[in-house]
């Protein structure tokens, strides 16, 4: 169950917070890009499909914010599972994320990049602890925490 300090980041949402909050994104086929810097953090929850070549523009705001910091952020990237639908575009989305990270000079900030295989993932930035957690959700569809935030 979620706690009061948890901030759920919905699809196509970008949020910033500070400790003691946790930023949480249920990624399913989406991509999560998160950064932790000191007791603060930011998380983008976006989809890699349907942008018709404009996907880099979608992820640049978080990368600009992370590049402007006076301290080196820890960056976590997760999600984008393959399920047989739009897999080619999803794979291209993964490439675009890493290319943009490189263009912004943030490669040394990558703490963890873990692309999903065939199951959803959850990316949590625990700002009080200063850590990012990427969880594979084998029991995703049976887990009450995640079905609460899934919209049908």
Residue 35 burial (10 A CB sphere; 0-12, 13-18, 19+): buried
Beta-strand pair 74-79/110-115: parallel
> Which residues on adjacent β-strands are paired with residue 46?
31
| DSSP for residue 67 | H
- pLDDT, one tens digit per residue, over 87-138 is 888 889 999 999 999 999 999 999 999 999 888 999 999 999 999 999 998 7
Residue with tokens 């919905």: 10
Predicted confidence at residue 101, as pLDDT, reads: 97
Dihedral sign for Cα atoms in the order 49, 50, 54, 57 = negative
- Interacting residues of 95 by C-beta distance below 8 A, sequence separation 6+: none
Mean pLDDT for all residues in the chain: 88
Report percent pLDDT > 70 for the chain: 89
Q: In terms of pLDDT, which residue wins out, 34 or 93?
A: 34
Predicted confidence at residue 147, as pLDDT, reads: 47
Predicted confidence at residue 2, as pLDDT, reads: 64
What is the torsion angle, in degrees rounded to the nearest 10, for the CA atoms of residue 53, residue 90, residue 56 and residue 97? -150
> Which residues on adjacent β-strands are paired with residue 15?
43
In the structure encoding, which two tokens stand for residue 9, read together?
């980041």
Q: In terms of pLDDT, which residue wins out, 77 or 85?
A: 77
| Alpha helical stretches, state H, 1-152 | 55-67, 87-103, 144-147
């Amino acid at each position: 169950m979620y706690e009061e300090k948890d901030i759920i980041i919905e699809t196509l949402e970008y949020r910033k917070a500070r400790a003691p909050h946790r930023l949480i994104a249920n990624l399913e086929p989406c991509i999560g890009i998160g950064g932790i810097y000191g007791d603060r953090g930011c998380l983008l929850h976006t989809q890699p499909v349907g942008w018709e070549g404009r996907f880099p523009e979608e992820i640049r705001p978080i990368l600009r914010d992370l590049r402007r910091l006076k301290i080196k952020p820890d960056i976590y990237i997760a999600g984008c599972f393959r399920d047989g639908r739009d897999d080619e575009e999803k794979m291209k989305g993964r490439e675009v994320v890493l290319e943009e990270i490189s263009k912004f000079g943030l490669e040394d900030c990558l703490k963890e990049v873990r692309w999903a295989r065939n199951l959803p993932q959850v990316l949590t930035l625990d700002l009080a602890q200063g850590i990012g957690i990427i969880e594979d959700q084998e029991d995703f569809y049976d887990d009450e925490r995640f079905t609460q935030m899934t919209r049908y």
